[in-house]
């Protein structure tokens, strides 16, 4: 079955540590996204990538980094510079291109990061 | 600025009662509209979408939504809810001809709580 796989589902980290969240998709989608979700705040865009080896900052990119070396993979690193990293992180993908582009997103199951 | 407003952060309702979750957006150009559902500790799942054509859109699990261009609204409805509909619902909009680079803009979510 095609879909998006995020790992780990739960992650604990000590302050000052970097952590990397994995996101893999086998939908052959061009674009991939990372969102952060906090209670009552909806989804906020961290980074997105429309093509391999290229990515753009979203609304809250500070303290995060990404890479897009392969079409299928878009890992997110939460660095020690992120002041309040405890949150639920969602990876998503979408078809990109001039034809049939609707913006519809397909989501993974999420990763919950807790900083101790 | 382009934005999405979900007018109710929480909606409690009794089982088998009808429900309406309200969503308004701000835009003077064409839009695509989406409703997603999120169950606890899971990713988002597409309920329904409006791209063009009939303004009444039917989705999964008996939900439907009506696009009202003059009122810039896309309210979600279900005539009779079940306990299993308890979840958080997100309205989202994309702008196919510009704005946000085609990315989805999400509302802050409405938590639907169905009581027996």
Over residues B9-45, the pLDDT tens digits come to 999 999 999 999 999 999 878 888 999 999 988 999 9
CB contact under 8 A, A110 and B102: no
Choosing among B8, B23, B43, B109, which should be mutated to test the A contact, i.e. which has the most A CBs within 10 A? Answer: B43
Using a CB-CB cut-off of 8 Å, the residues of chain A touching B36 are: 107
CB contact under 8 A, B107 and A48: no
Using a CB-CB cut-off of 8 Å, the residues of chain A touching B49 are: 102, 104
- The partner residue sitting opposite B103, judged by closest CB among A6, A48, A110, is A48
pLDDT of residue A99: 43
Residue A89, strand partner residues: A36, A111
Using a CB-CB cut-off of 8 Å, the residues of chain A touching B101 are: 56
- The region of weakest confidence among A4-8, B90-94, B100-104, B105-109 is B100-104
Whole-angstrom Cα distance, residue B4 to residue B25?
4
The 3-state secondary structure of chain A reads CCCEEEECCEEEECCCCCEEEEEEECCCCCEEEEEEECCCCCEEEEEEEEECCEEEECCCCCCEEECCCECCECCEEECCCCCCCCEEEEEEEECCCCCCCCCCCEECCCEEEEEC
Q: Name the minimum distance, in Å, from the CA of A45 to any CA of chain B.
A: 9
Over residues B46-91, the pLDDT tens digits come to 999 998 889 999 999 999 999 999 999 999 999 999 999 999 999 9
Q: Are A106 and A4 in contact (CB under 8 A)?
A: yes
CB contact under 8 A, B108 and A40: yes
Nearest chain A residue (CA) to B107: A42
Over residues B76-88, the pLDDT tens digits come to 999 999 999 999 9
Whole-angstrom Cα distance, residue B111 to residue B116?
16
- Residue B40, chain A, CB below 8 Å: the answer is no
pLDDT along chain A (116 residues), means of 10: 91 92 95 92 91 93 97 96 92 72 85 93
Q: Is B58 helix (H, G, I), strand (E, B) or coil?
A: strand
Q: Would you say residue B101 has pLDDT above 70?
A: no
pLDDT of residue B74: 97
CB contact under 8 A, B104 and A103: yes
CB contact under 8 A, B103 and A107: no
- Residue B10, chain A, CB below 8 Å: the answer is no
pLDDT of residue B100: 54
């Amino acid at each position: 079955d095609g879909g998006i796989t995020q790992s780990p589902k739960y992650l604990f980290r000590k302050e000052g540590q970097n952590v990397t969240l994995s996101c893999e998709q086998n939908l052959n989608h061009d674009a991939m996204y990372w969102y952060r979700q906090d209670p009552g705040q909806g989804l906020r865009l961290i980074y997105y990538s429309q093509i391999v080896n290229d990515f753009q900052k979203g609304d809250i990119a500070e303290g995060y980094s990404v890479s897009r070396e392969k079409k299928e993979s878009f890992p997110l690193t939460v660095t020690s510079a992120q002041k309040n990293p405890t949150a639920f992180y969602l990876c998503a993908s979408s078809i990109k291109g001039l034809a049939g582009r609707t913006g519809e997103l397909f989501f993974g199951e999420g990763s919950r990061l807790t900083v101790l | 600025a382009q934005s999405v407003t979900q007018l109710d952060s929480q909606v409690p309702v009794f089982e088998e009662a009808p429900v309406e979750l309200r969503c308004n957006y701000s835009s003077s150009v064409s839009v695509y509209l989406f409703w997603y559902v999120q169950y606890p500790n899971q990713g988002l799942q597409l309920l329904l979408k409006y791209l063009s054509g009939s303004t009444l859109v039917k989705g999964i699990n008996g939900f439907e939504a009506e696009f009202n261009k003059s009122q810039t609204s896309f309210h979600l409805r279900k005539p009779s809810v079940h306990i299993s509909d308890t979840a958080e619902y997100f309205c989202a909009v994309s702008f196919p001809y510009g704005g946000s680079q085609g990315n989805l803009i999400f509302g802050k979510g409405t938590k639907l709580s169905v009581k027996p």
